Amino acid sequence: MKLNIFLIAFSCIILSSLVGCEEVTLTSGPVFCEYKNKDTSDTYDVNSDNVIKCSGTSCTVNGTGATASEGVLSITSAGTYIIQGSLEGQIRMEVTENDFIHLVLDSATITSSDGPAIYGIAANKITITIVGENSLTDSANYSAVVDEEPDACLFVNADLSINGSGNITVSGNYGDAIRCKKDLKIVSGNIIVPNAVQRGIKAKNSLCIKEGTVDVTSTNSGIKVTRDNNSEKGYIVIDGGNIAISTKNDALHAETHLTINGGYIDIKESAEGIEGQMIDIIGGEVHVFATDDGINASMISSTDSTTSNNNNDKNQGMGMPGDMNNKNNTSGNQGMGMPGDMNNKNNTSGNQGMGMPNDMQGSKQNGGKPGGGMPGENSGSDGSVYINIVGGKTYVTVQGNDVDGIDANGVLYIGGEAEVYASINGGDVYGNMAALDADGTNAIVAGATVVVTADSNMGGGMGGHGNSGGNGRQNNGNMNNNNNNNNNDNANNGGDITAPPTKRQEQTQGQTQGQDQGQIPQGGFTGNMNSTDPNGGMMGPGGMGGPGGSGGMGGMGGPMGESGSIYQAYIKTSVNSQTAGTEIIVKDSNGNAIISYAPITSYSTILVSSPSLVAGQTYTITTGSDSITATASEADTGSVDPPSVTSPAEALLKKNSTSNGNSIKFNLFSIIILVASIFIIY
């Protein structure tokens, strides 16, 4: 008897270790989706399946498993249901948790005056096939809401797949447009979300996009997956399709993995463009326009909150010196400018404190805002947080204050066959408020093509009064604090103000004259950007400057040793300030164009690295009507450990091995159950 009890307990422990009680510790990506027949099949038969024709508030049902009442079509049995016509009301689906419903929307218009247009209350899986032109519209107010549910025009409490050759327009007038409480797969078809009060598309467990078109306009996040307590969930995978997002918050937000294997992604408007803990870009073409970080990798649950406009924490932090590693700065008095009010509209405090650099004051305490936190705190320098770009084309443009282009609160790795074009309106190439920022390894590896632009001549935004040094780069505590009235004088922790000693210091080659010497836009400073005047500039609204910085709110220009490693030939140089849209052309000595890129932000600093560059050779860089020559620098020595796969080919191999691995895991699981059962019986 005791033996049986022991065996039962042992079996339970084994089973729980396999199916539950797991820590949220992620395995490096990329992640791959599996599309089964129930996801992809869009076949139906009007002669044998249930056909429902609607008009006004009534529907005629030809078949079984569905009933119609005034304004409500109820589906209560598994099967295929073809919906045609217009319904002023709601489709409700409630079957057992083992049942599958195939809902075919054949040129259907569903307009609900109270609640979701389609409400999947219970099922194992629901697949919606779209044929022709379809429309779903919910009400602005829901009368029957329990625990904040339902809250979406298309609300499904089951696995949901969408396929077909038609179009569907889903308007979220109450909350989300589309919400799936389990796993969501978009296989094909055209999905348009013209407006959503909250999120355009929200899933709990996961989201896979295979093909089709997805066009989202939302107030809150564009596309979001929320599961943060299961390492095998919480992910977004984009395998193909054409995706466009315009939102006031995050465009693509995953809690764990975010993998882009293919497709065309156009993030036209966002606060933060792409977010996840482990981000792999293997293929496709990605365009990001953001007013906060363009691509951001942060620890699970550290990126859920949006930047608050009512931060009541008083500290504004100390304006750090412009360039703590400026070898050529002969200024005798740099000044630690005290930023008075960094865009603080309602500050009732007398003493603003001293603004810490970059995200030392995030939107949440202890580095809560992506990019915040000291290394080791919500940081993944060990590879647990990373951005890995090894294929496809990625374009990132960021315009805003206290922002980064590509920001890894961990490891940033660019290599393989990737093409990366990153532009930031202000800031610099590396460091705080930079085009390329990482708490850990920050590497460009041989094979990748990388073009980075920054505008070191841009000022740092509106700040308080303080003595400004030379050319300081903007860094601040909290630049968007609208209602600061807390009396806490202690600064929040955050920001990476030191870098691993293995990183090389950033070098500026071929600096040209003719940089602006007058007042810099958005608050910079007055004085020569390359001034050797002991007093530097006077009365810039923020901290002091350093070369290459953007005088502003107490920032460090060329951040305290933070830079990156480039393992192939590269050119980093300054040019005369160029307006947005001015093309950059890099040509070799034979006149062959190596690089051609037109940033949509102004710029004065350029970094180019490409397999086509040869160290020691001279290249001509043309920017508008200006032209300079620069010599390609030698690649850094040594090597770097990748956080994930290093090429699309390696990703494909991993995909194939993962499928086999899942099978092996399942077989092992089955054997353990069988052996445990035999012991218990005997």
Instruction: State the greatest distance between any 2 C-alpha atoms of the chain, in Å, as a whole number.
Output: 90
**Distance in angstroms (rounded) separating the CA atoms of residues 22 and 98:** 26
User: Does residue 266 sit within a domain?
Assistant: yes
Q: Which of 41-55, 201-215, 430-444 has the lowest mean pLDDT?
A: 430-444
272-286, 426-440, 535-549: range with highest mean pLDDT: 272-286
Could you give the number of structural domains in the chain?
A: 1
Per the model's pLDDT, the better-predicted residue between 81 and 351 turns out to be 81
Whole-number pLDDT of residue 675: 53
Buried b (16+ CB within 10 A) or exposed e, 84-96: bbbbbbbbbbbbe
Answer whether residue 372 shows pLDDT above 50.
no
Whole-number pLDDT of residue 144: 93
Q: With the C-alpha atoms ordered 655, 660, 666, 669, is the resulting torsion angle positive or negative?
A: negative
Over residues 620-644, mean pLDDT: 97
**Distance in angstroms (rounded) separating the CA atoms of residues 71 and 76:** 16
C-beta separation of 546 from 635 below 8 A:
no
**Distance in angstroms (rounded) separating the CA atoms of residues 282 and 240:** 12
Structure tokens at 385: 């947080």
User: Does residue 252 sit within a domain?
Assistant: yes
The distance in angstroms from the start CA to the end CA of the chain is 10
Whole-number pLDDT of residue 431: 80
Structure tokens at 327: 């070898």
How many other C-beta atoms can be found within 10 angstroms of the C-beta atom of residue 135?
18
Q: Is 605 helix (H, G, I), strand (E, B) or coil?
A: strand
Over residues 401-405, mean pLDDT: 91
By residue range, what is the domain housing residue 116?
37-270
Over residues 355-375, mean pLDDT: 35
- Cα separation values, 208 from 31, 185, 239, 474, Å: 10, 5, 8, 39
**Distance in angstroms (rounded) separating the CA atoms of residues 63 and 66:** 8
Amino acid at 520: I
Whole-number pLDDT of residue 301: 66
Structure tokens at 601: 């932000």
Over residues 186-192, mean pLDDT: 99
Percentage of residues in the chain with pLDDT exceeding 90? 63
Answer whether residue 64 shows pLDDT above 90.
yes
Per the model's pLDDT, the better-predicted residue between 458 and 268 turns out to be 268
Whole-number pLDDT of residue 456: 74
Whole-number pLDDT of residue 319: 38
Over residues 550-572, mean pLDDT: 65
Residue 117: pLDDT band (50, 70, 90) is very high
Answer whether residue 621 shows pLDDT above 50.
yes
User: Does residue 562 sit within a domain?
Assistant: no
Preceding peptide of 30 cis, ω within 30°:
yes
- What's this model's pTM, rounded to 2 decimal places? 0.73
**Distance in angstroms (rounded) separating the CA atoms of residues 303 and 306:** 8
CB within 8 Å of 331: residues ≥ 6 apart: 469, 470, 531, 532, 533, 534, 535, 536
Answer whether residue 611 shows pLDDT above 70.
yes
Over residues 1-8, mean pLDDT: 45
CB within 8 Å of 377: residues ≥ 6 apart: 366, 367, 493
- Cα separation values, 576 from 282, 547, 607, Å: 35, 14, 14
**Distance in angstroms (rounded) separating the CA atoms of residues 74 and 119:** 10
DSSP character at residue 560: G
User: Does residue 57 sit within a domain?
Assistant: yes
Whole-number pLDDT of residue 296: 98
Answer whether residue 346 shows pLDDT above 50.
no
Whole-number pLDDT of residue 680: 54
Question: Which one, of 436, 411, 439, lies nearest residue 497 by Cα?
Answer: 439
User: Does residue 315 sit within a domain?
Assistant: no
How many other C-beta atoms can be found within 10 angstroms of the C-beta atom of residue 597?
18
User: Does residue 589 sit within a domain?
Assistant: no
**Distance in angstroms (rounded) separating the CA atoms of residues 466 and 477:** 15
**Distance in angstroms (rounded) separating the CA atoms of residues 411 and 467:** 35
Structure tokens at 370: 């992506």
Answer whether residue 306 shows pLDDT above 80.
no
Structure tokens at 467: 């003595």
Rg (CA), the chain: 28
Answer whether residue 602 shows pLDDT above 80.
yes
**Distance in angstroms (rounded) separating the CA atoms of residues 657 and 643:** 18
Residue 423: pLDDT band (50, 70, 90) is very high
Answer whether residue 508 shows pLDDT above 60.
no
Whole-number pLDDT of residue 679: 55
Whole-number pLDDT of residue 44: 98
Whole-number pLDDT of residue 681: 52
Question: Which one, of 311, 498, 254, 278, lies nearest residue 386 by Cα?
Answer: 278
Per the model's pLDDT, the better-predicted residue between 106 and 511 turns out to be 106
Percentage of residues in the chain with pLDDT exceeding 70? 66
User: Does residue 171 sit within a domain?
Assistant: yes
Answer whether residue 589 shows pLDDT above 50.
yes
Over residues 520-536, mean pLDDT: 33
C-beta separation of 563 from 443 below 8 A:
no
How many other C-beta atoms can be found within 10 angstroms of the C-beta atom of residue 406?
30
Average pLDDT, the chain: 77
Whole-number pLDDT of residue 348: 38
243-247, 329-333, 360-364, 669-673: range with highest mean pLDDT: 243-247
Over residues 643-656, mean pLDDT: 96
Residue 658: pLDDT band (50, 70, 90) is confident
Strands 90-94 and 118-122: parallel
Over residues 202-207, mean pLDDT: 99
Residue 647: pLDDT band (50, 70, 90) is very high
Residue 281: pLDDT band (50, 70, 90) is very high
Whole-number pLDDT of residue 175: 98
Give DSSP secondary structure letters for 99-130.
Answer: -EEEEEEEEEEEE-SSS-SEEEEE-SEEEEEE
Look-up of token digits 């409490």: 157
Whole-number pLDDT of residue 516: 35
Q: Which of 28-32, 113-117, 489-493 has the lowest mean pLDDT?
A: 489-493
Q: Is 682 helix (H, G, I), strand (E, B) or coil?
A: coil
Whole-number pLDDT of residue 432: 75
pLDDT tens per residue across span 71-103: 999 999 999 999 999 999 999 999 999 999 999
C-beta separation of 506 from 324 below 8 A:
no
CB within 8 Å of 228: residues ≥ 6 apart: 24, 234, 255, 256, 300, 301, 304
Answer whether residue 422 shows pLDDT above 60.
yes
Per the model's pLDDT, the better-predicted residue between 295 and 540 turns out to be 295
With vertex at residue 576, the alpha carbon angle to CA 420 and CA 321, rounded to the nearest 5 degrees, is 80
Look-up of token digits 């396999």: 18
Over residues 261-285, mean pLDDT: 99
- Cα separation values, 547 from 86, 474, 515, 541, 551, Å: 65, 12, 11, 17, 10
Answer whether residue 477 shows pLDDT above 70.
no
Over residues 634-658, mean pLDDT: 95
User: Does residue 406 sit within a domain?
Assistant: no
